[in-house]
Amino acid sequence: MLSELSRQLRQRLALPLPGIEAQYQMAHAERRVNLSRYRIPENVRKGSVLLLLYEKNGEIMFPLIVRQEYEGVHSGQVALPGGKYEEEDGTLEYTAIRESHEEIGIIKRDISLIGQLTELYIPPSNFLVQPFIGTLNYEPTFLPDAKEVARVVEISLENLMDEHRVSEKVIKLSNGMEILTPYFSLRGNVVWGATAMMLAEMKSVLYEIGY
């Protein structure tokens, strides 16, 4: 099951991606309207995340992390494992693999990357993030880094594709502002912002290959 999906995804991801149009299906209204505010500055920091697919109980799954509470703009949010590019990484691909190992304990050599989605600029933290898609040929045992990860949430692709999981709500930001934004409700977790935008593009790709 996963091997066939991996083959189809590898072929599709080698072609032009759905891109910003797919991502913006899950962007809040202010971001959609004021595009000029989201131009990438010269001093942008780079990072990457990993959407890691594996089989469990006859379903194809991927992990999300719930970040620990801290003094920062992404405190307590749900995200894909990933983080900041370090010079010793050499490539953003390796950053995604390294961070997945550090944050949730995935063995680096066991991750097979099959492609990437469209990079996304995240203004609050000034990060340009490159999402990668990878596979694992066994069900992982997660070892979350207690400093960064409060818990790991396993999501099935069927859950992601369910249109009943998409809604809108008012979110209060770390600066006290409130925004009305679309979100995914995934196993009781509110997934919004950049992570939701990346997942929206993944969802679009899955639709295209007939998943």
CATH for the stretch 2-157+194-205: 3.90.79.10
- Each residue's pLDDT tens digit, 148-188: 999 999 999 999 999 999 999 998 876 777 889 999 999 99
Q: Is the pLDDT of residue 37 over 60?
A: yes
> Residue 31 has what pLDDT?
79
> Residue 21 has what pLDDT?
93
Task: Quote the pTM value.
Answer: 0.94
> Residue 74 has what pLDDT?
52
Alpha-carbon distances, residue 188 vs 155, 163, 165, 177 (angstroms): 11, 15, 10, 23
**Which of 61-70, 100-109, 136-145 has the weakest average pLDDT?**
61-70
Q: Is the pLDDT of residue 123 over 80?
A: yes
H helices within 59-174, ranges in order?
Answer: 92-104, 157-161
Between these two residues, 76 and 26, which has the higher pLDDT value? Answer: 26
Q: Is the pLDDT of residue 137 over 60?
A: yes
> Residue 75 has what pLDDT?
66
- Nearest alpha carbon to residue 118 among 6, 20, 11: 20
Mean pLDDT to the nearest integer, 93-106: 98
Between these two residues, 194 and 69, which has the higher pLDDT value? Answer: 194
- Each residue's pLDDT tens digit, 48-83: 999 999 999 999 999 999 999 766 555 678 999 999
Backbone angles phi, psi at 83, to 5 degrees: 175, -160
